[in-house]
Amino acid sequence: MIKSAPWSLLALLVCLHQVPAASAAARAVHNDSPISYILAEEQFARGEWQEAIQTGEKLHSADGLALAARAALASAAYEPDRDKRLAAIDQALNLADRALALQNAHPEALLQTAAAYGFRALVNRQASDARLARSTLDRALMAAPANPYVLAGLGSWHGQIVLEAGGLFAGLMFGAKRASMIMAYDAAIAIAPDNLAIRAGYGLLLLRFNKQDFEDRGLEHLRLAATMTPKGAFERHQLKQIQHILAAVADGANPSDIRAMADAMTPYAGLTFP
């Protein structure tokens, strides 16, 4: 069993909420009208999760179903009711499985599958789901080795396992390492330096370590993210979180309070954040 402190793949939620599901070329070859896919993206950006699920599902394409899976996970990210969180995870897994049945190496479908397993690990406290998240991330990395969201998801996986299991146990039982977290995130940021979602995810993750140099680096990433323009409902939510933490730091909050705030911002943990 995973320890009782909040466990999640925070950057996977970043991926969940922000990955561009399809390139312009991919949209052009949909059997259904590409306008429907654009509509689903717009609904997602506005935070209209259920509408985005319905529109994406109606496309009957891997891109549409992967977007629907992303919206299903987004719909319960901060839902306090455990059963509703699990229902959203099950729905996302079903949608992503259907996408993979159409295209078995679809990067976003793999990413949403990994995210769903990670969130289920958080809700049910099962190490087996954490391992499933990692194996699915490895498939996503093979399909899209230069995708910054996949790299961020991998970095978060390493970081969260180390946080919850401890450095020695994390390495022995899961192969998770702090150095691998840093390497994966640095690669993601090198590819997408102006990405608010990835900067925010990394910054919040670093704040949860009890290390001064990690806190300093985490705050640096959050300050940079705070200068960026949010794209969509979830990045706007992230920006509010960043501003809340930076204001607390400016008011002299101690490191333990900052770590508690970062924990409270963890999706699917059932915690509350103003």
Task: Give the pair of three-digit tokens for residue 174.
Answer: 């899961």
- Cα–Cα distances in Å, from 159 out to 42, 105, 180? 32, 25, 8
158 in a structural domain: yes
Across residues 179-194, what is the average pLDDT? 96
| Among the listed residues 142, 154, 215, the one whose alpha carbon sits nearest the alpha carbon of residue 179 | 154
70-102 per-position pLDDT tens digit: 999 999 988 889 999 999 999 999 999 999 999
Q: How confident is the model at residue 265 (pLDDT cuts 50, 70, 90)?
A: confident
1 in a structural domain: no
Across residues 164-190, what is the average pLDDT? 88
Residue scoring higher pLDDT (43 or 273): 43
The domain in which residue 192 lies consists of: 10-264
Q: CB-based contacts of 79: which residues, under 8 Å, 6+ apart? A: 85, 88, 270
How many structural domains are present in the chain?
Answer: 1
Tell me, what CATH number does 214's domain have?
Answer: 1.25.40.10
165 in a structural domain: yes
Q: What is the pLDDT, as a whole number, of residue 78?
A: 81
pLDDT(7) > 70:
no
Q: How confident is the model at residue 29 (pLDDT cuts 50, 70, 90)?
A: very low
274 in a structural domain: no
Strand, coil or helix: 194: coil
- Cα–Cα distances in Å, from 273 out to 73, 199, 226, 264, 266? 18, 20, 18, 6, 9
Question: CB 143: neighbour CB atoms within 10 A?
Answer: 18
State the pTM of this model: 0.85
Residue 236: CA count within 13 A, CB half-sphere: 7
Q: How confident is the model at residue 127 (pLDDT cuts 50, 70, 90)?
A: confident
213 in a structural domain: yes
224 in a structural domain: yes
Question: Cα torsion for 71, 119, 80, 98, to the nearest 10°?
Answer: 40
Strand, coil or helix: 1: coil
Cβ-count burial of 233 within 10 angstroms (0-12 exposed, 13-18 middle, 19+ buried)?
middle
103 in a structural domain: yes
Q: What is the pLDDT, as a whole number, of residue 270?
A: 64
Share of the chain above pLDDT 70, in %: 85
3 in a structural domain: no
Q: How far apart are CA 53 and CA 5, in angstroms?
A: 31
